[in-house]
Structure formats: structure tokens, C-alpha cells
Amino acid sequence: MNFSDSLDKYTIFNKVAKAAEKINVPVYVVGGFVRDLMLNRISKDIDFVCVGSGLELAKEVASVLNENSVTYFKKYGTAAIRYQGWDFEFVGARKESYSQDSRNPVVEDGSLKDDQLRRDFTINALAISLNKDDFGVLIDPFNGLKDLKRKILRTPQNPDITFSDDPLRMMRAIRFATQLGFDIEPDTFDAIVRNADRLKIVSQERITDELNKIILSPIPSYGFKLLLPAGLLKLFFPELLDLQGVETIDDKSHKDNFYHTLKVLDNVSVISDFLWLRWAAIMHDIAKPKTKRFDPKRGWTFHGHEDKGAKMVPVIFRRLKLPLDNKMQFVKKIVRLHLRPISLVKDEITDSAIRRLLFEAGDDVDKLMLLCRADITSKNNVRVKRYLANFDRVEKKLKEVEEKDKIRNFQPPLTGDAIIKALNIKPSKVVGEIKEEIKEAILDGKIRNTREEAYSLMIDIAKRMDILKME
């Protein structure tokens, strides 16, 4: 098969071909770009493999492009050029060998086929020639094109060797399957199961990077449903695994919270690409196993799982090497608050309850409501419609109260310094108590969120505390 017409759409390929011809090295485009070309997907990452020096080729290509910014990785024999929004990588064809305790290979020069053989999956081992005699010809020694058409992930060589050599490829297999909607060929998946423990030699950062790509896939639950039987999930995320299973006492059962969580995650993924809201979906019931109790009258309860779950968020984020900044704080907040809108719909909605939710959720209240809607996974359509209607009421009330009271992210109208100055008192815990009482009065609707009414209340509080020292 010849893809010269497809390559001619991009000027870079002819330029690389001319550069390679000038230094007399055969060159090929290999890997993800070729795979995505076959799938009619747009990719701006291109890997070039030459039978020779990748560093020398990159230098020559940079000269052709009049691009001075080339990053050389001499230890690995690779070079990278970022050019007009494209990322090009150049490497000499090589073959690799691995030691048992490392995923860093010993590299030596090899042929194009050697280079294709070392790649993770047949669909990523496809190559297209950029050489004058056979420009655009597909080179496919492992039937990768056939696997693409069958939507199958398979390794070019014995999968036990592939996964033992570089265990991260097991996570990549599940990531590609999830992103592309492919199946993992049975022998390949069995090899993942056999080699699962090898994942322990991979850094958590690399594992989590693949995990995040799974989470950002169109249907992320598919990836988790592969991670579970593969034996990988238990190695880095046992808390999620603990959600699995149904327990029955006195003919009363609770739902399988693992599969419920995956359903919520998929529901969120339909409406939001925001990674950290998807993580909030994953974590929202994470503490249910730790809070599960059976009450003969009420059945199964999970009291306080939202608060305990919020406390688990930083612990899990730290272990998974996820960011501990405002992203973690967002997930922690959403987990802590995810039951609040649900509790509001059970009773008459009061302005006070709405104000408190707006105050605590701040600008994240809309994302919180997205999760709450996604959390409705009942198969009872009548119940689903009722909950959605109730959430409509809550959202309408949220909008009304916010327009009236401006509570979202509000700061008390009087700062601690303003209270100290106005009352002529020294810094003490009393200042904090006054601020808190003013805040509570605003949230309860006793006073409006204005400096004037807050100041008046401050004077009343000071008189009651007998601390008024104004001249």
C-alpha cells in the first residue's frame, strides 16, 4: 500500500526526505502518526526513524526548516524539534535488551525491522518509507494494519517478553484499548495478568500519567473494567477495588459501589472533559467501605462517607503522585459536598441552606451540581425523573439566592483588622468569634451581605460581650 498522497498534504515529509537523502540515511515515519493516519485521526506528534544517526538527521532537518531549537538526548540517541505546533522526534533504528529489575533498555544499532519489533503493539509498529525509491510505501511486518481493521491490540513479539521488559506497556495496552475502543487480544491480555506484578518496578508518576489518559477517554469505565481483571488496579489503587462487591443481610443488599462509581464517572465524562471533576466522580464514594454499617431497621448505611472520603483524597493523591495544589483541594471539596444538594431536595429548600451551599462551594457549585446529576444511576426511571426535577428546583433556587445575596465566594464584609480598629481592641480570639457570628448571620439571612449591616451587628455583639471601647 502506498500513502504518498496522504504524506504530500504535509510539507514536513518531503523536507525530512531531502535531509535524509543529503546525509545518505534511509528514513521512515513510524508509530502513532502512522496509526492515526490509518484511523483518520489528526496527530501532531511524528516519530522519524532512520537507519543511521538520529542526531545527525535532526540537525540536518533543523537546517532545512531554518529552525535553531533542537533538543538532543545524546544518552538515548534521540533528538526533538518543536516546529509550528508540531513535535518531531528523530532516532536511529535500534534493538533493545532489558535487565530484570529495570525498564531502561540497553540499546544498540539495529535495522528498521528490529526497531519495529521493539515497539509495544503491532498498530504502533507500522512504518511508511520516506525514501526516494519507495516513498509512501507501508512497511508492516507484523500485520498491524490487519489488527487496526479488527480493532485488536497485539504485541509484535511474545507478549510475556514485551510486558516483562517494559511493564508500563501493560498500562499502555489498557489506555490504548480505552481511547480507541479496541479489544486486547486474548493471549496478550493473559500475558498482562501473568506479568502484572512487574508493574512494581515502574515509577508511580508514569503509572498515573497513563491512568489519567484512561480517565480522560470517552468511556473511562472500559479501562477500569480491564484494570480490574488484569490484576493491575489492586497494585496502585486498592481503595477503588475495595468498593467492589455486594453484601446481603436479612435479604437487604447494598449496590456494588465499584460499578456505581464507574457509571457516575461515565456520566460525568459525557458532559465534562475536566479531569479533576472526573477524579471527583471516582472519589465521591471512596469511603463507603470504611463507613458501611448494617441497621436492622434501616438496612445498609454509609453515614459520614462524604467527610471521611474528603480526608482520604489528599492521602490517595499523595500516593498516586497527583498534584497536591488547588486541583486536589477541588476534588476534596466536591467529595465533601456531594451529598449536600441531595439533602436539600428532601425537604423544603430554605434560603439559609442555599446560602451555605453557595458559600462553601463557591465558583465550583456548578461542577458540584454536574456530579450530583451524574450520581443518579437508578434503573427506576420514575425515581430518576423525580431526582432530576428536584435538582432543577435546587439550581433555580441557587440562581435566585446568588442574584439576591451575592454569597458565592463572599468574604465577610468586615476584616479582622477592621474589627480591631473599629472596636479599639487587641488581636485575640474574640475577633475571630465576631467575624464568625457576622458570617453566620449573613448565611442565616438575619442581615444582608453589606458592610453597613455587618458593622451594626458588630456593635451589637461588642456591647453584648462588654468589649466596646470606642471613644
Residue 292 backbone class (left: φ over 0; alpha: ψ -120 to 50; beta: rest): beta
Q: Which three cell numbers stand for residue 50?
A: 532512520
The total number of structural domains in the chain stands at 3
Mean pLDDT of 360-375: 92
Query: Are the CB atoms for 302 and 292 separated by under 8 Å?
Result: yes
| Of the listed ranges 107-111, 138-142, 272-276, 392-396, the one predicted with least confidence | 107-111
pLDDT(381) > 90: no
Beta bridge partners of 248: 253
Cβ(173)–Cβ(192) below 8 Å: yes
Q: Are residues 440 and 454 in the same domain?
A: yes
Is pLDDT of 101 > 70?
A: no
Among residues 217, 230, 374, 241, the alpha carbon closest in space to that of 316 is found at: 241
Q: Lowest-pLDDT range, 201-205, 276-280, 338-342?
A: 338-342
Q: Is the pLDDT of residue 205 over 50?
A: yes
What residues have CB less than 8 Å from 325, skipping those under 6 apart? none
DSSP state of 348: P
Predicted pLDDT of residue 96: 63
Is the confidence at residue 405, as pLDDT, over 60? yes
Instruction: Supply the range of the domain harboring residue 431.
Output: 416-465
Per residue in 292-349, pLDDT tens? 888 888 887 888 999 999 999 999 999 999 999 999 999 999 999 999 887 776 657 7
Contacts for 7 with CB less than 8 Å, ≥ 6 apart: 13, 14, 29, 128, 130, 135, 136
- Among 219, 236, 253, the domain-final residue is 236
Q: Residue 347 carries which side chain, given as an amino acid letter?
A: D
Statement: residue 374 has pLDDT above 90: yes
Q: Are residues 69 and 157 in the same domain?
A: no
Where is average pLDDT lowest: 208-217, 248-257, 458-467?
Answer: 248-257
Domain co-membership, 45 together with 20: yes
The predicted pLDDT at position 98 comes to: 56
Do the domain assignments include residue 411?
A: no
Q: What percent of the chain has pLDDT over 70?
A: 96
- Give me the helix-helix angle, 221-230 and 168-180, nearest 10°: 150
- Mean residue pLDDT of the chain comes to 90
| pLDDT at residue 429 tops 70 | yes
The residues with which 83 forms a beta bridge, in sequence order, are: 86
Is-contact 368 341, C-beta < 8 A?
Answer: yes
Structural contact between residues 224 and 259, judged by C-beta atoms closer than 8 angstroms: no
Residue type, 175: R
- Same domain for 133 and 183: no
Query: What is the per-residue pLDDT across 147-180, written as a single tens digit (0 to 9) for each?
Result: 999 999 999 999 999 999 899 999 999 999 999 9
The confidence score (pLDDT) of residue 109 equals 76
Cross-strand bridge partners of residue 80? 71, 89
Using one digit for the tens of pLDDT, what is the confidence trace for 30-73?
Answer: 999 999 999 988 888 999 999 999 999 999 999 988 877 889 88
Does residue 315 lie within any of the structural domains?
A: no
The C-alpha atoms of residue 118 and residue 127 are separated, in whole angstroms, by 13
Higher pLDDT, 397 or 157: 157
Which cell numbers hold the place of 422? 473599629
CA atoms within 13 A on the CB side of 83: 22
Mean pLDDT of 378-382: 80
pLDDT bin (cut points 50, 70, 90) of residue 100 is low
Kindly state whether residues 140 and 178 are assigned to the same domain. no
Structure-block grid coordinates of residue 249: 443481610
395 within some domain: no
For residues 11 and 105, state if they share a domain: yes
Residue 468 clears pLDDT 80, i.e. is over it: no
Check whether residue 112 and residue 200 sit in a common domain: no
Strand, helix or coil for residue 375: coil
**Who contacts 14 (Cβ-Cβ below 8 Å, separation ≥6)?**
7, 8
Continuous segment of H or E residues that includes residue 95? strand 94-97
Q: How confident is the model at residue 382 (pLDDT cuts 50, 70, 90)?
A: confident
Indicate the burial class of 420 (C-beta count within 10 angstroms; 0-12, 13-18, 19 or more): middle
359: pLDDT strictly greater than 70: yes
The whole-number pLDDT of residue 79 equals 93
Q: Are 103 and 138 in a shared domain?
A: yes
Q: CATH number for the domain including 113?
A: 3.30.460.10
**Residue 135 near residue 129, CB atoms below 8 Å:** yes
Integer angstrom CA distances of residue 26 from 44, 58, 88, 325? 22, 13, 17, 47
Asked whether residue 209 carries a pLDDT value surpassing 60, the answer given is yes
pLDDT at 448 over 80: yes
Mean pLDDT: which of 202-211, 358-367, 462-471 is highest? 202-211
| Burial (0-12, 13-18, 19+ Cβ within 10 Å), 24 | exposed
Backbone angles phi, psi at 50, to 5 degrees: -120, 155
